[in-house]
Structure 1
Amino acid sequence: MANVVVVGAQWGDEGKGKIVDWLSERADVIARFQGGHNAGHTLVIDGEVFKLSLLPSGIVRKGKRSVIGNGVVLDPWALIDEIARLTKQGVEVSPDNLMIAENTPLILPVHGELDRARESQTGVAKIGTTGRGIGPAYEDKVGRRTVRVADLADRATLESRVDRLLVHHDALRRGLGLPEVDRAALMAKLEEIAPQILPFAAPVWKVLNEDRRAGKRILFEGAQGSLLDIDFGTYPFVTSSNTMSGMAATGTGLGPNAIDFVLGIVKAYTTRVGEGPFPTELQDADGQRLGERGHEFGTVTGRQRRCGWFDAVLVRQTCATSGVSGIALTKLDVLDGFDELKICTGYELDGETLDYLPTAADQQARVTPVYETMKGWSESTAGARSWADLPAEAIKYVRRVEELIQCPVALLSTSPERDDTILVTDPFAD
């Protein structure tokens, strides 16, 4: 049976939540494989809005197993709060439908404090983080000093992990002018939260491998976007994990042969939150119009997103690095009513034309987009559920996007509602 990875193919906020929720009807298991509660997915189901940060989008569907994999960094307090919010909306969350990998690293209060202290330093360029401790938690993971979910079950191990962690953090905090960590208070918090988290703990790698052998369909849900990947994104204005499809395997404990289809989520224009280069950014009436029509505010932070024309160069690049099989093109309806639309087909840099985004930060900041102009459409595409419902110019726009990114459209989303989706290729088709 086919297993599908869903990744954002831009800077995030492409509409992954709706697509994953839509696909989860065909899946048996939905697994998060990287990121933390800096991710934000908004689902609209029968007019009700669900806002998720840590929980996989499949949690709102009954009869599905949701998984938080080892590639995620988990804030246990944020998770419990999120579960409580969903419970009030009538969503049941229990060990029967949610598993957390035992080797998942925890985000502790010290991580958020360090994150925010760094971002507030004067004279230091801001990365634009959410201040939620994701970066410092990943640092501790690779520094071999993290506290993991399984450690909560044994007091002696937990104390040893905390002591190793604090040797590092107390030194950093002194340098930043922060007081040393109150060890007793931290231990008390961990001991208090442990019984709420441990019932969800499981050997996810083992369960998922068994599920796969049993022929169950697995949907791997990514967070953020490929352009925020720690290796291939616009470094250093990136997140602290690998956001591309290859991480689905290592972030859950499956091998790469478990991936059958990679679906890249692509917005019909471009947005970005936070700092960093953005070649097609619009700081004019068109950019403002895109932001207002697209309701471009972050699910987690509420920060206004920067908006610009569709950048085919970047999407072609991310489709290559993530091995995208097909894209889900979202928010086409936001482009309704524009007389003209522009698509970036290349960059100019120092008199040369480039068909990719260079790696060097100074070059990324200096590239200027080369645009192709297309005729817009006045009719509405909102709620379209078949190609016949789309204006001819909208279809031409979609086909041109396919040509430029060298990847076919598998799904087309025309509103936040789950059913307002045109299916071209079912990623789960055998």
Structure 2
Amino acid sequence: MPIKVVLGAQWAQYAVRLAYQRIAAMLTISSPSFFSELKQLEEKGLPNVYDRILVSDRVHINFDLHAAVDGLEEIELGELFESKLRRLAHGYKARYGDLLKYDVEEEIERFRGYRTELAKYAIDGLSFMYSAQTSNMNIIIEGANAVMLDLSMGSYPYVTSSNTAISGIIAGLTLNPKAITETIGVVKAYTTRVGAGAFKTEDLEEYCHPITTQLENRGRLTMWATESEQNSRRWAENGEHPQAENVAVAGSVCQHLALVSVSKLVDAYLDFIDLVVVKHGHMVNYYTALNLTKLDVLDSFETIKIAIAYKDKSTGQELDYYPADHNILDNAEVVYHEMPGWNKPTINARTYDELPKQAQDYIEYIEKFIGVKVKWIGTGPDREAMITRN
């Protein structure tokens, strides 16, 4: 059966709504979190949870010890990069203390119970996927991270621990590459990045960035907030959260803002679209079509800037690719192409002809630069706010 793959073309959080039923072989699973989330699904009334959630028998199990060590590594890397050294000593003391109290036998005993329960969900993933691909089953593939966080082809070392590009999907799910008929790259109409690493289009001279302002005005900065996230935001605003010091909160009009996730506060950056990044993703994934999301966020701009190259500050040489060498990247400035904005609402537009001419020009410039057709255009937060082009 033909397979269609949908991939994020920039960094994370690329506004795709998908469903997923099989946890693939190359993933690591946290048993406590897995069962906690299953319980939440059951409490919300999801029927037949045991029959609908499947786990490959080739996944790796994550113990509490792994999480403790990962937490220490995040403290060492993340806080050093963010110059929060004054809190480092206290953090190490607290976390090393917890690690030294770690009881191996207690955790092994607890995981014996998890092993029995987890067996209900485990399947031979290889046979399952082969059967799915040789029968008339619909296959939807979901991943949390986009191509620039790919371990091999992303902005290393500021990446995740796995391959998030199409190569990871083929290997992790044992897909038949010949059966992939369409590879869709999802591109935000502007660029965002969470965490450390280069973000070349970030304008440090502007404290309040207009894209952040537009998101706030439209109520889009808080649309992801769950009850748990709202609690974290309240803690940060009141200075109660242990990680709240010197962290901006979603909803404030700052370029360097924080999107509050369920588990922690993370720094996020926003700016105009970087087509060097999108082109890099295309060279990795070979997109057959693009889905441009959040076009309506740009509705109120007089001028829209598009990053089309990087230029070495010393030599003036232009780079039309995303360099792996961070010394080159750090010494480069952005070359922009400017286009007139449309200053008209595009939100909830349903046809391409409804878009202002300047918005169409913007879309077609992206198409020409990347060499891939934009087949879908997101024009708002609603599911129906989507333009489909033939």
Q: Give me the TM-score of the superposition, normalised by structure 2.
A: 0.79
Aligned to 2:185: 264
Q: What is the CA deviation profile of residues 67-108 of structure 1, one whole-angstrom value per residue up to 9, with x for unaligned ones?
A: 111122111221222223333333335232221101111222
Q: What is the CA deviation profile of residues 106-134 of structure 1, one whole-angstrom value per residue up to 9, with x for unaligned ones?
A: 22211211111122238984499xxxxxx
**Does the residue aligned with 1:194 lie in a helix, a strand or coil?**
helix
Aligned to 1:191: 112
Contact 1:383 1:420 in 2 (8 A): yes
**Partners of 2:31 and 2:73 in 1: how far apart?**
23
- Which of 291, 300, 314 is the matching residue for 1:337? 300
Contact 1:7 1:223 in 2 (8 A): no
**Partners of 2:143 and 2:78 in 1: how far apart?**
34
Q: What is the CA deviation profile of residues 381-413 of structure 1, one whole-angstrom value per residue up to 9, with x for unaligned ones?
A: 111221133222211111111111221112211
Give the counterpart letter for 2:65 in structure 1.
Answer: V
Q: 1:11–1:122: structure 2 CA closer, same or farther, 3 Å change rule?
A: closer
Aligned to 1:318: 281
Cα drift, residue 6 of structure 1: 1.6
The answer on 1:231 being equivalent to 2:194 is: no
Cα drift, residue 258 of structure 1: 3.5
Aligned to 1:116: 71
- Which of 78, 81, 84 is the matching residue for 2:39? 84
Q: 1:126–1:180: structure 2 CA closer, same or farther, 3 Å change rule?
A: farther
**Partners of 1:74 and 1:258 in 2: how far apart?**
28
Aligned to 2:4: 4
Q: 1:204–1:126: structure 2 CA closer, same or farther, 3 Å change rule?
A: farther
- Which of 208, 213, 222 is the matching residue for 1:289? 213
Q: 1:332–1:123: structure 2 CA closer, same or farther, 3 Å change rule?
A: closer
Pick which of 341-350 and 358-367 moved more. Answer: 358-367
Aligned to 1:392: 357
**Partners of 1:219 and 1:370 in 2: how far apart?**
38
**Partners of 2:265 and 2:291 in 1: how far apart?**
24
**Partners of 1:203 and 1:259 in 2: how far apart?**
22
Contact 1:228 1:237 in 2 (8 A): yes
Cα drift, residue 195 of structure 1: 3.2
- Which of 122, 135, 154 is the matching residue for 1:214? 135
Q: 1:221–1:418: structure 2 CA closer, same or farther, 3 Å change rule?
A: same
Cα drift, residue 181 of structure 1: 4.2
Pick which of 365-374 and 409-418 moved more. Answer: 409-418
Contact 1:83 1:93 in 2 (8 A): no
Q: 1:353–1:361: structure 2 CA closer, same or farther, 3 Å change rule?
A: same
**Partners of 2:100 and 2:40 in 1: how far apart?**
33
**Partners of 2:67 and 2:200 in 1: how far apart?**
31
**Partners of 1:308 and 1:423 in 2: how far apart?**
26
Q: Which runs of 5+ in 2 are unaligned?
A: 84-95, 222-249, 251-258
The answer on 1:407 being equivalent to 2:372 is: yes
Contact 1:290 1:334 in 2 (8 A): yes
Q: 1:270–1:124: structure 2 CA closer, same or farther, 3 Å change rule?
A: closer
**Partners of 2:387 and 2:265 in 1: how far apart?**
29
Q: What is the CA deviation profile of residues 41-69 of structure 1, one whole-angstrom value per residue up to 9, with x for unaligned ones?
A: xxxxxxxxxxxxxxxx24xxxxxxx1111
- The percent of aligned pairs where both chains have the same amino acid is 29
Q: Which runs of 5+ in 1 are unaligned?
A: 21-56, 59-65, 129-175, 426-430
RMSD of equivalent CA atoms: 2.4
Give the counterpart letter for 1:345 in structure 2.
Answer: I
The answer on 1:348 being equivalent to 2:311 is: yes
Q: How many pairs are equivalent?
A: 334
**Does the residue aligned with 1:342 lie in a helix, a strand or coil?**
strand
Q: Give me the TM-score of the superposition, normalised by structure 1.
A: 0.72
**Partners of 2:386 and 2:33 in 1: how far apart?**
32
- Which of 85, 97, 115 is the matching residue for 2:52? 97
